[in-house]
Structure 1
Amino acid sequence: MNERLQFYYAQDTCSLASHVALEDAEALYDLHRLSIEQGEHNSGSYLEINPKGRVPALVTPSGVLTETPAILVYISQLFPDAQLAPVGDPYQFARLQEFNSFMASTLHVAHAHRMRGHRWVDDEAAIEAMQRKVPVTVAAAYSHIEDFYLDGPFVLGQHYSVADPYLFTFAQWMEPDGVDPLQFPKVAEHREMMAQRPTVRRALEAEAA
């Protein structure tokens, strides 16, 4: 693929997972940073790209993709030589999508209750109650991951995939979410391992620049 992808992200968000996958794939892409604090994700120019007003968004030659699980699978299939997904094994590929769906629908939602309760309710007391529950709901998600994934050393066992940067992205926020990493040694070990990967370090350094 010769045409460069256009990747829209914000620092300290779930967009890091797709950013790492682009690095893993050695893709040609341009970074476009948005400031959530300054409301750039709700600007008219960005809403033309992603009407949801969220990150990430990936502009491809075929159109715009949003939602992390979709972007991760797209990258893995666009760059098959990188072997970022077990596309030839229907069961393992489904397991990959199962995991990524769980991350998006369960762990991400539980995490978002800490700082984005206004998405669900307006009552301040209700928002505070949601925030108090975050350590419990987030820990429950990690408990499931610890028990049913990470047979080692990666999410899908011996083979690295786009599921791994997705887990790493959220595992960075365990402590702010009130979760003790010592409760989940496999997740903590995975986080430490991922932090040393050159592609992860390059993505983190680019987002911090």
Structure 2
Amino acid sequence: MLKLYYNPGTIALASHIALEESGADYEAKKLNPAIMEHTKPEYLAINPKGRVPSLVTDRGILTETPAILLYIAQVYGASAFPPPEDPYDLAQLQSFNNYLCSTLHVNHAHRKRGRRWVDEQNTAAIKAMEIKVKSNMEECFQMIEDEMFEGPWVMGPDYSIADPYLFTITQWMEGDGVDPADFPKLLAHRKAMLARPAVARVVAEHAAK
């Protein structure tokens, strides 16, 4: 059985949705953010990076969302996430997911985790990073809205592992000061995702106390 470690409110939601959609036999283990459980020795023995998600498989432990999503799609999710047959199409899918990983997620992290980039005493720099998050995220969402989103799903007519990933990051819009109404395609995508029973189940689980 697969085992997914996650924190509520994090990017781990994407991997959790993918597992639920795929029908794989898995267990979801919620870590306790109140005690920073992801930084404790027990979890660091699973993922020394101290981040979520982590996916325990029968062959070892996978980390990093793009890798976990691709693994789920290729091993368990052929019906929910038909893998692209053409290498170029697969590369395009990975290009989209890696943009979310390397650019949007990093931009978002500057709002609460500026101390990753500057010393804690440099409060002016930390504040400047927080202020910049809104415009950085808006710029990225506009790029996706105008250039990268095929519709009705990310890659076109077929649901793919890019959809739970994009959905998870658009969940952060309001917190980052971004108005979802400014991005009608992404807002419609969010609503379509929430209408999927598997997505609704996982979202409810993450929201539960």
Which residue does 1:189 correspond to in 2? 188
- Structure 1: where are the runs of 5+ without partners? none
- Aligned-partner SS, 1:113: helix
Q: CA deviation at 1:80?
A: 4.6
Q: Distance in 2 between matches of 1:35 and 1:124?
A: 28
Indicate how the Cα distance of structure 1 residues 202 and 80 shifts in structure 2: closer, same or farther if over 3 A, else same. Answer: closer
How do 1:120-159 residues align onto structure 2 when only pairs under 5 Å count?
Answer: 120-122=117-119, 123-159=122-158
Work out the CA distance in 1 between the residues paired with 2:15 and 2:74: 13
Answer yes or no: is the 8 Å Cα contact 1:154–1:190 preserved in 2.
yes
Secondary structure of the structure 2 residue equivalent to 1:32: strand
Unmatched 5+ residue regions in structure 2?
none
% identity of equivalent residues: 53
Q: Distance in 2 between matches of 1:114 and 1:39?
A: 18
Do 1:77 and 1:87's aligned partners in 2 also have CA atoms closer than 8 Å? no
3-state SS in 1 of match to 2:3? strand
After TM superposition, list the pairs within 5 Å mapping 1:1-209 onto structure 2: 4-122=1-119, 123-209=122-208
- Residues in 2 aligned to 1:160 and 1:143: alpha-carbon distance in whole angstroms: 21
Aligned residues of 1:86 and 1:92 also touching (Cα < 8 A): no
Structure 1: which amino acid aligns with 2:127? E
Structure 2: which amino acid aligns with 1:142?
Answer: F
Asked if the contact 1:24/1:82 (under 8 Å) is kept, the reply is: no
Contact 1:85 1:162 (C-alpha < 8 Å) held by counterparts: no
Q: How far apart, CA to CA, are the structure 2 residues paired with 1:95 and 1:165?
A: 16
Distance 1:180 1:94 in 2: 30
Q: Give the Å deviation of 1:81.
A: 2.9
- Number of aligned residues: 206
Q: How far did 1:36 drift?
A: 2.4
Conserved 8 A contact 1:154-1:160 = yes
Deviation at 1:47, TM superposition (A): 0.2
Matched residue SS, 1:81: coil
| AA of the residue aligned to 2:94 | Q
The question of whether the paired residues in 1 share the 8 Å contact of 2:14 and 2:168 is answered with yes
- In structure 2, do the counterparts of structure 1 residues 35 and 50 end up closer, same or farther at CA, with 3 Å as the change threshold? same
Supply the RMSD in Å over aligned alpha carbons: 1.1
